[in-house]
Amino acid sequence: MTRRTHHSKSPAAPERLRKHAEETKQGLGRTVDALAAATTDVKAKAAHTTDQAKVMASQAGDRLQEQTPELLRQKAGQGAEAARNNRGLLLATAVGVTALWLVFRRKEK
């Protein structure tokens, strides 16, 4: 059995559909514009926050450098240079200490 539905054959029905489609299209256009504006605003805020964080980090680094005694800065530089020159030894020591820690940790359980 086939079921028939009643369709309005009046000329006003297609015009109402066109009008409804146009209103929907305009509404969607406004929604897309609003979403695009919101996205741009979020990106701008994120960029501004990132810039502020960079400035604050730079200022903190400058203050720290100004307040650190010269002798301490020299010793820190020497320590960093020694670590760079002896990376293999430093890595081997770290691996050995970690292995010992794991062995003792297992024995405690």
The residue ranges of every structural domain in the chain are 13-108
Mean pLDDT, each 10-residue run in order, the chain (109 residues): 54 85 90 86 88 93 87 88 91 94 85
Tokens representing residue 62 in the block: 């400058």
Q: What is the pLDDT of residue 68?
A: 84
Q: How far apart are CA 23 and CA 27, in angstroms?
A: 6
CA distances from 98 to 15, 50, 65, 102, 105 (A): 79, 37, 33, 6, 10
Tokens representing residue 94 in the block: 């770290």
